[in-house]
Amino acid sequence: MTAEQPVTDVPEYHKSGYIAVLGRPNVGKSTLINALLGEKVSIVSPKPQTTRDRIQGILSLEEAQIIFLDTPGIHQPKNMLDEYMVKVANYALPDADVILFLVDVANPLIEADREIARLIEKKRENKPVLVGLNKIDQQTDPAQVATIQTELATLLPDATFLPLSATTGAHQDELLEWIIEKLPYGPRYYPVDIISDQNDRKFVAEIIREVSLELLHHEVPHGMAVIIDTFKTRENGMLYIQGKIYVERESHKPIVLGKNGSMLKRIGQRARQRLEEIYEQKIYLDLRVKPRHKWRKNPSDLRWFGYVTRKK
């Protein structure tokens, strides 16, 4: 079921809408959405530019259905993939009913935060804005938090500010209450048992990429893309998944493989364990590695991997 087929059997007071979650890389956007949903829909890594696509996380409550648009961190693009990611984040603003702007208060404000604040103020069209002062659990200096809030209040004069923690859950209930208050009345756009609009193949590919980000270093994991060729349950009940990890340089292939295939085996084992916990069934995961030269700078390759933005 899609957003074009709303569920109408809901109470008259039911609310629904889209929440654009914006912020620079690594401020905790995906971590917060996963925490609010109580399940994993977005991959998480301490490395920047982890989220590449806009991922919808869907929280269905009795009184509201909240559809979170988890966007890539807005950053200075270095290649066509980066440009795609920034476009995805920008396109979330006109689609949203409410805007949630996350900043990391464990560290001082940087120019990227200010640029995003200016972008929101320019494009928000009077939509409600909440600035989430995230990582409050890591900040012991109230003066720094106050300084950040004061500066952002000059850039977003109508915004609401809320300290919170994506990891400990601090003030997440207040965040949901504020969002529901601001949402318009409307139907459910998705059945209550749907928590994401990602299909299985896309989700599995993202989990494999998440594990690769954990185990590999430097530029190698950022130049990777994962395609799932086979996703099917066999007669014995085991889920068989076959996928390819694409790297953008021939020299990256032996790094991903490791000595005698040891690194690829580690990636496969950790990803399989993670997927078995999610799908609650035995999984056979078959991974291969293939080079695709400079794919992040090739428009046709970007389209082939599914990184396509609509015209605005």
Report all structural domains of the chain as residue ranges with CATH numbers, in order of start: 15-182 (3.40.50.300), 200-304 (3.30.300.20)
The arithmetic mean of pLDDT across residues 31-56, rounded, is 68
- CA angle, residues 53, 151, 124, in degrees to nearest 5: 45
Lowest mean pLDDT, pick from 18-27, 87-96, 99-108, 208-217: 87-96
Max mean pLDDT among 127-131, 192-196, 224-228 falls in 127-131
Average pLDDT over residues 120-134: 94
- What CA–CA distance (Å, rounded) separates 31 from 43? 8
> pLDDT tier at 134 (50, 70, 90 boundaries)?
very high
C-alpha atoms less than 13 angstroms from C-alpha of 287 in its C-beta half-sphere: 29
Mean pLDDT of 190-206: 86
The pLDDT of residue 182 is above 70? yes
pLDDT score of 89 more than 70: no
Joined tokens for residue 217? 């270093």
18, 57 contact by CB (below 8 A): no
With b meaning 16 or more CB within 10 Å and e meaning fewer, what string describes 19-50?
A: bbbbbbbbbbbbbbbbbbbeebbbbbbeeebb
Buried b (16+ CB within 10 A) or exposed e, 272-311: bebbeeeeeeebebebebebbeebbebeebbeebebebee
One-letter amino acid for residue 103 of the chain: V
Alpha-carbon radius of gyration of the chain: 20
Average pLDDT across the chain, whole number: 85
pLDDT in tens, 218-263: 767 778 899 999 999 999 989 999 999 999 999 999 999 999 999 9
> Which segment of 48-52, 181-185, 254-258, 294-298 scores lowest on mean pLDDT?
48-52
The pLDDT score that the predictor gives to residue 90 is 66
Q: Give residue 2's pLDDT.
A: 42
CB-based contact 186:11 (threshold 8 Å): no
Tens-place pLDDT, residues 257-287: 999 999 999 999 999 999 999 888 999 999 9
